[in-house]
Amino acid sequence: MIETPVLERVLSEALRNGGEFAEIFAEDKVNSSAMLDDGRVEELSSGRDRGAGIRVVSGETTGFAHTADLTERGLMRAAEAASAVARSGGGGTRTVSSGALTGSASPSMDGRATPTTGSKADALELLQRADEAARASGAGISQVQAGFGTSTRRVLIANSEGLLAGDEAARTRFSVSCVALGDTGMQTGYETAARTLGFELFDEVSVEELARTAAAQALAKLAARPAPSGELPVVLAGGSGGILFHEACGHGLEADHIVKNASVYTGKVGQQVASTLVTLVDDGTIGSEWGTFGVDDEGRPAQRNVLIQDGILTDYLWDYLRARKEGRLSSGNGRRQSYRDLPMVRMTNTFLLPGTDDADEIVAQTQRGVYVAKLGGGQVNTTTGDFVFGTTMAYLIEDGVITEPLRDANLIGNGPEILQRIDAVATDFSMTPGTCGKDGQSVPVGCGQATMRLSGVTIGGTAE
């Protein structure tokens, strides 16, 4: 992507005026997407985005410039701009954008494995198959939307401490959204599959099964009753509740919140912060999960980080700058949305380890409660740990049996309190993909957990 002698000269220029640390992050990303809406092709697109971001650190000030011009001249201009901002002092971070490059091409990466790719016709066939399978699920299905997206991202990272690292990853995502109409109005269902794979994702995933699952959700909710209100036990189905722990405690364990004293977990390493059944892990190395990569966006190898062990807080997540100030190594959690963005502390694949209980027994031992088959989005205050999450597929538990579907409701609680209220964890671990937003940047992540019971959560339902 950029020759090593050029990298060295640009880094030298970045440090020439007194910078303490300089870094080049180069990226070349190719993507394509397609959307089928009610049997019609609504979107069929492809694109390429390439450029570099240069970071210079001087004391408490970070200068950052990004450019789409990957010639040595373009990179030198960006390095000069970043260096000028860094030496201006005053603390904080400021960003400068350089001019764009036109008509350039990037050579392929020798020795890199190339993921399998499908044609636009292949993608459209998958979308049509999903549409047909969803509509065949029931006469109540009135609308179907299916989406496909794939990307290949190559990155190169070099810094003034001698690091030179690269990574290449393909990611593919397929989703189906269904609308069902009935006497009670309109209900929706949604299902997605996403992996750090190329087109070979579809050797593992059936688009028809995704479509039938989304349709079944929408149809089941036509008969849903209002969700109860008040505090009740909640059983989270395997894989469904990972997003709750990602939001409710994962963000609070990111070092940027910790060093600002903006997390409820600040200063609690070595203390019990959860039930002894809880071991929370962030791992960017596992299989082909959505948050998996080879090196992070600062060139540090992805790794497995145990954050909570048997209820005891053991560590936080670190990027390069925060770790550097603490005299320790990065945990491989410096991530950025693109070359236009500075890296920050981000999760990868975050999950609770499975336990020893039987999932069916956990339900059978719950006299009355709510079974959450799927969670939606939510919000969390990292300083207090308070959160609100929506349910998108939930059922009532009566006398230890899953009975009627419930209308969408909210789960309201506090992250540290919820971690203490986990009283049963099953063996049926699974992961789900997600997109994590933070400070205006979005990155792919994985979330996971086995079926588990929370002894009490406030349900924001509408039933009397």
CATH code where residue 53 lies: 3.30.2290.10
Helix (H, G, I), strand (E, B) or coil at 89: coil
CA distance 201 to 248: 30
Which among 389, 397, 405, 410 is positioned nearest to 369, based on CA atoms?
397
Same-domain status, 195 and 255: no
Question: Across the chain, how many H-helices and E-strands are there?
Answer: 10, 22
CA distance 302 to 347: 11
Give me the pLDDT at residue 464, please.
56
Give me the pLDDT at residue 103, please.
33
Sheet of strand 164-182: strand arrangement? 92-97, 61-67, 40-58, 21-37, 141-159, 164-182, 185-195
Q: Pinpoint the alpha helices (H) of 246-400.
A: 255-259, 320-325, 359-364
Tokens read off for 274 = 């959860």
Q: Name residues whose C-beta falls within 8 Å of residue 464's C-beta, 6 or more positions apart in sequence.
A: none
Give me the pLDDT at residue 16, please.
86
8 Å CB contact between 305 and 281 = yes
Give me the pLDDT at residue 344, please.
97
Tokens read off for 380 = 């969390």
What is the domain range of residue 166? 4-221
Question: What is the model's pTM?
Answer: 0.92
Domain boundary among 221, 245, 261: 221
Same-domain status, 265 and 204: no
Q: Pinpoint the alpha helices (H) of 88-221.
A: 120-135, 201-204, 207-221
Give me the pLDDT at residue 240, please.
83
Give me the pLDDT at residue 19, please.
87
Cα→Cα distances 285→238, 345, 410, Å: 21, 17, 33
Give me the pLDDT at residue 20, please.
92
Which among 404, 437, 376 is positioned nearest to 189, based on CA atoms?
376
Same-domain status, 37 and 179: yes
User: Which DSSP letter does residue 365 get?
Assistant: T
Domain boundary among 189, 221, 253: 221
Same-domain status, 155 and 257: no
For residue 48, the number of C-alpha atoms closer than 13 Å in the C-beta half-sphere is: 11
Give me the pLDDT at residue 242, please.
85
Tens digits of pLDDT across the chain (464 residues): 899 999 999 999 999 888 899 999 999 999 999 999 999 999 999 999 999 999 999 988 999 999 999 999 999 999 999 999 888 766 665 454 444 433 322 233 333 345 677 888 999 999 999 999 999 999 999 999 999 999 999 999 999 999 999 999 999 999 999 999 998 789 999 999 999 999 999 999 999 999 999 999 999 999 999 999 999 999 999 998 888 889 889 999 999 999 999 999 999 999 999 999 999 999 999 999 999 999 999 999 999 999 999 999 999 999 999 999 999 999 999 999 999 999 999 999 999 999 999 999 999 999 999 999 999 888 888 889 899 999 999 999 999 999 999 999 999 999 999 999 999 999 999 999 999 999 999 999 999 999 999 999 999 877 65
How many other C-beta atoms are found inside a 10 Å radius of the C-beta of residue 48? 12
Which among 309, 341, 335 is positioned nearest to 436, based on CA atoms?
335
Same-domain status, 260 and 215: no
Same-domain status, 54 and 132: yes
CA distance 155 to 28: 6
CA distance 257 to 347: 13
Tokens read off for 434 = 């997600």
Same-domain status, 58 and 155: yes
Domain total in the chain: 2
Same-domain status, 10 and 159: yes
Give me the pLDDT at residue 87, please.
83
Tokens read off for 286 = 């596992």
Same-domain status, 196 and 312: no
Give me the pLDDT at residue 382, please.
86
8 Å CB contact between 298 and 329 = no
Which among 382, 370, 416 is positioned nearest to 278, based on CA atoms?
416
Domain boundary among 168, 194, 221: 221
Q: Name residues whose C-beta falls within 8 Å of residue 461's C-beta, 6 or more positions apart in sequence.
A: 226, 227, 228, 229, 406, 407, 409
Same-domain status, 212 and 275: no
Helix (H, G, I), strand (E, B) or coil at 39: coil
Same-domain status, 49 and 180: yes
Same-domain status, 173 and 36: yes
